[in-house]
Amino acid sequence: MPLMTGEQYVESIRKMNMQIYMFGEKIENPVDHPILRPSLNSVRMTYDLAQMPEYEDLMTATSHITGEKINRFTHIHQSTDDLCKKVKMQRLCGQKTAACFQRCVGMDGFNAVYSTSYECDQAHGTHYHENFLKFVEYCQTNDLVTDGAMTDPKGDRSKAPHAQDDPDMYLHVVERRPDGIVVRGAKAHQTGIINSHEVLVMPTCSMGEADKDYAVAFAVPSDTEGIYMIIGRQSCDTRKLEGSSMDVGNPEFGGVEALIVFDDVFVPNDRIFLNGEYEFAGMLVERFAGYHRQSYGGCKVGVGDVLIGAAALAAEYNGVPKASHIKDKLIEMIHLNETLYCCGIACSAEGEATVSGNYLINLLLANVCKQNITRFPYEIARLAEDIAGGLMVTAPSEKDLRDPVLGPVVEKYFRGSSSVSTEDRLKILRLIENLTLGTAAVGYRTESMHGAGSPQAQRIMISRQSDLNAKKEMAKALAHIK
């Protein structure tokens, strides 16, 4: 099957029968719902860009399974060049949407499960890698979106999965049958689930023998019986119901989060990639986290490009583009943003092949990348708010601007530079508000802190990967200490 167009993708999601709830009601038509549609548009962009010749090298790849051209979001990395192109692709998608385009978790899950299932088979004589290869080929051939689902609700975080008061706080196997397994639990913070054809479930932490029922990885269609989704609230989300593209800030693109509930869901044997092999849960989590921390050196940088551009326009529209302190703030924003990109490219260029053949990033540098992501976007956002000015959060609505009586007053008193309309000034300020405070802040600022693990999770991995003893030996050698 050739690559789907964006419109074909939208229609493929329309045909699905996902159980989606928001504001206490079941959403019968999520594809056209004004709050949910912008998130679908963000995923659609990954299909539209893959159809454009100028982006073919970044957006597509050659499948090592079929030899056919595929969307890079379904690719198994075959080289450090693939890893670098992944980051560049993510930056491009961030630039085009200024939102979370939602396919990174599935792509990162693909590559983590690929190598982990191979090594589990080597140790246990299982057939998980064969199962996974068939699943990947199916997704590549049909050009599907896969949601990666790792994070469990976790309940009391001082307790292991098996020790929770409520066993469903971590997704687990409740029944094993000759033809498959039945699972129960939930996965939280799922940005792309309502726009995905498939969901790839992975364990969320390292586990011991007592947790073996929680050491499970599998994939099922997103509309499988027993799966339902509850949409999370976001700041300014109901503005999308008001019909004002100006007040939304980014009227076409966005993202939403959801809780996925697995209410005794059946998984057939050929869709199981881990089933009780608890000693491989930690490997899978570590590799997935590394890939996903690499991803942030691309996607957040692309959104940062848009925010920097918006801040520069705000300075122009306010009439102060030549002020020295404005220039210095923009330079600082660019410096921080490009530093993040450097980290994403560095951990990719330093990647190495796993025993399964696919390529893994340099885990230390990937964690350094994400540690910087927990800090720099906050400073970029702060500087953008500084440059934009207070009108960003006190501007009147579009209805006021269009009102026959109030409109002329708004036009007069909220005008900045005489060369720019009041409407354009308000539009760019609303875009900055959207990126720093509104719905897009979930995919830029707040997600920069908690996505792909908390800051402390990266610091733990940096400690593990840094080989401090080797550094001690270097110092001893130079100081002539035996």
Helix H segments across 271-374?
281-318, 324-349, 363-373
Q: Catalytic: which of 84, 104, 120, 139?
A: 104
**DSSP summary character for residue 238:** G
Q: Catalytic: which of 114, 170, 257, 433?
A: 257
Q: Is 296 a catalytic residue?
A: yes
> Could you tell me the CA-to-CA distances from 352 to 82, 362, 447 in Å, in that order?
11, 7, 28
> Cα torsion at 394, 395, 396, 397 (round to 10°)?
-110
Q: Catalytic: which of 116, 151, 191, 204?
A: 191
> Could you tell me the CA-to-CA distances from 101 to 147, 255, 316, 388 in Å, in that order?
11, 7, 29, 26
Q: Hey, which residues does 181 pair with through a beta bridge?
A: 176, 267
Residue 253 Rama label (left phi>0; alpha psi -120 to 50; beta): beta
Q: Is 191 a catalytic residue?
A: yes
With residue 14 as reference, give the H or E element that holds it: helix 6-14
Q: Is 170 a catalytic residue?
A: no
Q: Is 292 a catalytic residue?
A: yes
Q: Catalytic: which of 118, 296, 359, 444?
A: 296
- The C-alpha atoms of residue 127 and residue 280 are separated, in whole angstroms, by 14
- The C-alpha atoms of residue 370 and residue 368 are separated, in whole angstroms, by 6
Q: Is 299 a catalytic residue?
A: yes
Q: Which of 347, 338, 339 is nearest to 462 (CA)?
A: 347
Helix H segments across 350-419?
363-373, 376-388, 391-394, 398-402, 406-413
Q: Is 347 a catalytic residue?
A: no
Q: Catalytic: which of 93, 120, 139, 299?
A: 299
Q: Catalytic: which of 197, 292, 341, 347?
A: 292
DSSP 3-state assignment of 376?
A: helix
Q: Is 447 a catalytic residue?
A: yes
Has 191 been labeled as part of a binding site?
Answer: yes
Q: Which of 20, 444, 450, 442 is nearest to 237 (CA)?
A: 442
Q: Catalytic: which of 100, 120, 139, 205?
A: 100
Residue numbering of the annotated binding site:
191
Catalytic amino acids?
100, 104, 191, 257, 292, 296, 299, 447
**Binding site, annotated residues for FAD:** 191
